[in-house]
């Protein structure tokens, strides 16, 4: 029988289990995994039980639990398919030239994304950008999303105060992203569906969606329109906290108005400092060449405690963006004071004395291993004077912290295999591994890429949800290249195929 996308599956036959945690006695033996009503009901030596219904023949392939990306900006990631990629650009002048050749969209704007101005060899100038791009409103979004570069026509259109170089940072930059992402549903929803298909083809069954919007409405609409490619837990930002509390939304609740239980309320999400690439992450030592700049706390600690107290009392978990060591210390303090549960997002620079506090407080470390590799030159230069620990993956894991992996797409590609490879092998471009002592085991990397994370990974076990991925190679014994090139033969979400090769 040939099965295709959308079909329900009753048996995955002749598979090898490669889960990071397992209680079955079968070792390398081929097994059949029997499923019913969205859950695993039995695991038996291949052929021991009759195979009824729809059977996927794994032909000896390796079966792992469904993968999660714990930090995605879904609309921003989906929309980036329509934006001019600027990741390869090495100067401001080149960025301006590339954008000048882009045809404006239906709304009259030109939009590019993914630039990394920290690596540019010249100084951006608004006059030069205007000379290249003229009267067409032109927008460029930093790879880290914490800054945008606009020409004068765009600044006028958005009624933003002109900065001397045309850059906007932090909240005004987020506001520009929100406006650019606010496109009619008939344009964005097909892009989101395509993004979900691409994710399923990489073995992803779920994402935490941290778009800066009232996400419940969007997900209920998409699901009513037939979206069924991923599980989604969506974040709630401070501007929507009162509304969420007033309407009684609690973490884990199914999105109201949706016709399935795939979309659920996720955490209260708050951004408390800037980023490394924009040189705004709140650190204990100044940025080089800029003695007054130690980054910024975008939420003062008292306000953070106040918001987290309300969120916790209302039944919401908390996801706190903290990149610099000062921001991480304040975030940990706020978890300690409020008794909140949830995660610190990024944890890119952590004081040595703060590393054990994640485990002690039960705060998940939601990290993006690809950033460590993409940012290695930035870390080695603009964070060279910092005394705290950059990208402390193994240190956190060894201290007992629960690691959750994500991409922060579009900051890096939504690809859990790239994240696992970066976490374990600490390189991505053939260079020598960066700080290899902070590499984690493949077992930890795979576990951190499942729901539950490195300490409590999803299980392949009777009673567990039938969220499963068939891999052409054994991920627990793969090298860097094999992980990155992993062929996913099938992805099953609640017993239904969301991808078949």
CB of 409 to Zn ion, least distance (A): 9
Q: Which is nearer to Zn ion, 364 or 498 (CB)?
A: 364
Q: How far apart are CA 415 and CA 409, in angstroms?
A: 9
The residues that touch Zn ion, with contacts defined as CB under 5 A, are 408
Per the document, the length of the chain is 501
CB of 274 to Zn ion, least distance (A): 12
Q: How far apart are CA 125 and CA 140, in angstroms?
A: 14
Q: Which is nearer to Zn ion, 393 or 470 (CB)?
A: 393
Q: How far apart are CA 211 and CA 460, in angstroms?
A: 31
Q: Which is nearer to Zn ion, 207 or 249 (CB)?
A: 207
CB of 22 to Zn ion, least distance (A): 32
Q: Which is nearer to Zn ion, 31 or 270 (CB)?
A: 270
Dig out the tokens for 401 from the structure: 């912290």
CB of 71 to Zn ion, least distance (A): 5
CB of 354 to Zn ion, least distance (A): 21
Maximum distance among all Cα pairs of the chain, rounded to whole angstroms: 74
Q: How far apart are CA 282 and CA 273, in angstroms?
A: 6
The radius of gyration of the chain's CA atoms, rounded to the nearest angstrom, is 23
Q: Which is nearer to Zn ion, 152 or 366 (CB)?
A: 366
3-state percent helix, strand, coil for the chain, nearest multiple of 5: 35, 25, 45
By the 8 A CB rule, do 62 and 16 touch?
A: yes
CB of 171 to Zn ion, least distance (A): 15
Evaluate the CA torsion angle 274, 277, 279, 282 in order and state its sign.
Answer: positive
CB of 269 to Zn ion, least distance (A): 9
CB of 284 to Zn ion, least distance (A): 23
Q: Which is nearer to Zn ion, 76 or 338 (CB)?
A: 76
Q: Which is nearer to Zn ion, 129 or 296 (CB)?
A: 296
Helix (H) or strand (E) run with residue 209 in it = strand 204-209
Q: How far apart are CA 224 and CA 227, in angstroms?
A: 7
Nearest residue to Zn ion, scored by beta-carbon proximity: 408
Q: Which is nearer to Zn ion, 321 or 451 (CB)?
A: 321
By the 8 A CB rule, do 288 and 385 touch?
A: yes
> What DSSP letter does each residue of 296-312 carry, written as one string?
-BSS-HHHHHHHHHHHH
SS (H, E, C) 394-454: HHHHHCCCCEEECCCECCCCCCHHHHHHHHHHCCCCCCCCCCHHHCCCHHHHHHHCECCCC
């Amino acid at each position: 029988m040939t099965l295709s996308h959308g079909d329900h599956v009753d048996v995955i036959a002749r598979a090898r289990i490669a889960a990071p945690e397992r209680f079955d006695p079968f070792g390398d033996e081929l097994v059949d995994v029997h499923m019913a009503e969205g859950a695993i009901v039995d695991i038996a030596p291949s052929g021991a039980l009759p195979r009824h219904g729809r059977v996927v023949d794994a032909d000896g392939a390796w079966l792992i639990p469904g993968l999660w990306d714990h930090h995605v900006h879904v609309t921003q990631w989906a929309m980036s398919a329509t934006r001019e990629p600027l990741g390869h650009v090495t100067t401001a002048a080149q960025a301006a030239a590339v954008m000048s050749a882009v045809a404006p969209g239906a709304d009259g704007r030109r939009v590019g994304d993914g630039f990394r101005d920290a690596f540019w060899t010249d100084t951006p100038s608004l006059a030069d950008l205007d000379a290249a791009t003229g009267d067409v409103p032109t927008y460029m979004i930093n790879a880290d999303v914490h800054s945008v570069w606009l020409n004068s026509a765009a600044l006028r259109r958005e009624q933003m105060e002109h900065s001397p170089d045309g850059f906007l940072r932090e909240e005004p930059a987020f506001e520009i992203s929100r406006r650019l992402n606010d496109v009619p549903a008939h344009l964005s929803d097909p892009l989101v569906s395509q993004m979900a298909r691409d994710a399923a083809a990489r073995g992803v069954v779920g994402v935490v969606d941290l778009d800066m919007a009232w996400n419940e409405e969007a997900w209920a609409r998409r699901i009513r329109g037939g979206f069924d490619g991923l599980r989604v837990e969506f974040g709630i930002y401070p501007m929507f906290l009162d509304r969420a509390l007033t309407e009684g939304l609690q973490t884990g609740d199914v999105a109201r108005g949706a016709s399935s239980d795939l979309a659920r309320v996720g955490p209260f999400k708050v951004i408390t400092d800037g980023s490394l690439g924009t040189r705004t992450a709140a650190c204990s030592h100044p940025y080089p060449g800029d003695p007054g700049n130690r980054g910024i706390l975008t939420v003062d600690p008292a306000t953070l405690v106040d918001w987290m107290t309300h969120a916790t009392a209302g039944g919401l978990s908390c996801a706190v963006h903290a990149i610099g060591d000062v921001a991480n210390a304040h975030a940990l303090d706020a978890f300690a004071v409020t008794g909140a549960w949830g995660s610190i997002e990024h944890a890119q620079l952590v004081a040595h004395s703060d590393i054990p506090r994640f485990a002690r407080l039960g705060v998940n470390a939601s990290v993006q291993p690809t950033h460590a590799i993409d940012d290695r030159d930035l870390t080695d230069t603009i964070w060279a004077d910092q005394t705290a620990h950059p990208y402390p993956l193994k240190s956190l894991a060894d201290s007992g912290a629960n690691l959750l992996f994500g991409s922060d797409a579009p900051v890096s590609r939504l690809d859990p295999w790239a994240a696992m490879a970066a976490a374990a092998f600490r390189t991505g471009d053939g260079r020598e591994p960066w700080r290899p002592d902070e590499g984690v085991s493949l077992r930890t990397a795979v576990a951190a890429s499942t729901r539950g994370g490195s300490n409590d990974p999803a299980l392949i076990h009777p009673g567990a949800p039938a969220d499963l991925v068939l891999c052409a190679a054994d991920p627990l014994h793969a090298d860097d290249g094999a992980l990155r090139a992993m062929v996913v033969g099938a992805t099953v979400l609640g017993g239904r195929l969301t991808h078949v090769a």
